[in-house]
Amino acid sequence: MRSKALVLLLSLPSLSGCIVIPGLSSLMRQDMEEVIVEDSDRLFVRDKILLLDISGVISEAKEEQVLSEGTSLVEDVRESLRLAREDPRIRAVIVRIDSPGGTVTASDLIHHELRRYAEETGVPITAMLMDVAASGGYYVASAADRIVASPTTVTGSIGVIMLTVDVQGLEDLVGVQVGAVTSGPFKDIMSPFRPMTGEEREILQSVIDGLYGRFVETVVAGREGRGLSAEDVRGLADGRIFTAQQALDAGLVDSVGYLPELIDELTRELGLDDPQVVAHRRGAWGRYNVYSQLPRAPVVNVNLLSADSVTQGLGPGFHYLWMPGALRLSRR
């Protein structure tokens, strides 16, 4: 009997489809635990620096896990900051960002959680920009007290994008027509089955303009004291990207350097005693927070040819996103 069960389990990756396992979500949910990134030579550690990663497309969608419920980036950030609040030895936070951005709401939620943590604890936050920290990635960085770019960082792309699809040609090709009965003239706005009207475009543009305005205000607030006015930021916020040096010259970052040197600099500035650099990773048992989706019977995807996960959570809608950066992730 055991051998048959083992054969069935080992054969799962060869199948295509999904398996629903009732009750497994809470059982297999992994909690966060502290891991040491760079140890201290002290026997009793007095000071710590938390390394918090913002990597990939920023979304509220859960990362798919085999035989595990999975969590979202927003949820993980909140949980990591909760653990940091409980540890008085955390003296500084470095937010390491390698992201082309993502959804407007997920970017804003992470920014909010970082600002709330800084205001409640007084712990300084530094954003360390890695390969790409564009659009929503830079939005998150603006929550930091200081922004440091790697010498080869690509950043900027301040703005909003909304993706639309027109499949009318496909309808004609396959001989299918799609209609809609709605309660109002704009209920099926952004329908891919008909052309967008001028009035609909104006409505969508007004939403984009509002979200764009929030982005600009967030950057202005984050760069307060650097001599960047709202007019200055709007001049930079036309969607263009910047090299690290260009971003420094424009006032979007405070310095250009490397992560190890940043750790040494924080150690000197804050008077830390050989700090231990730590991070939080998913480990043993699960814990939920307000950004967790309600537990449900998990779906175990055993299709090795499933759609690219980089677009998970990025359906039709408004995004703080640099598209080439997202496509770069899809080729990894």
Residue written as tokens 């490397």?
258
Task: Report the C-alpha gap between 189 and 318 in whole angstroms.
Answer: 14
How far apart, in Å, do the first and last CA atoms of the chain sit? 41
Q: How distant, in Å, are the alpha carbons of 18, 129, 255 from that of 310?
A: 19, 20, 30
Task: Report the C-alpha gap between 61 and 52 in whole angstroms.
Answer: 19
Query: Which residues face 318 on adjacent strands?
Result: 162
Nearest to 321 by CA among 89, 138, 135: 135
Task: Report the C-alpha gap between 147 and 143 in whole angstroms.
Answer: 9
| Annotated catalytic residue 16 | no
Point out the catalytic residue in the list 25, 72, 135, 191: 135
The number of residues in the chain equals 332
**Buried-state track 54-78, b at ≥16 Cβ within 10 A, e below 16:** bebbbbbbbbebeebbbbbbbbbbb
Q: Which amino acid is at 102?
A: G
| Annotated catalytic residue 62 | no
CA R_g for the chain: 23
Report which DSSP code applies to 94: E
Provide CB contacts within 8 A for 160, sequence distance 6+: 104, 208, 211, 212, 215, 318, 319, 320
Residue 192 tokens, joined = 């891919």
Query: Which residues face 125 on adjacent strands?
Result: 93
Q: What stretches of 86-229 show up as alpha helix (H) in DSSP?
A: 104-121, 136-141, 168-174, 198-222
Task: Report the C-alpha gap between 189 and 195 in whole angstroms.
Answer: 10
**Catalytic sites, residue numbers:** 135, 187
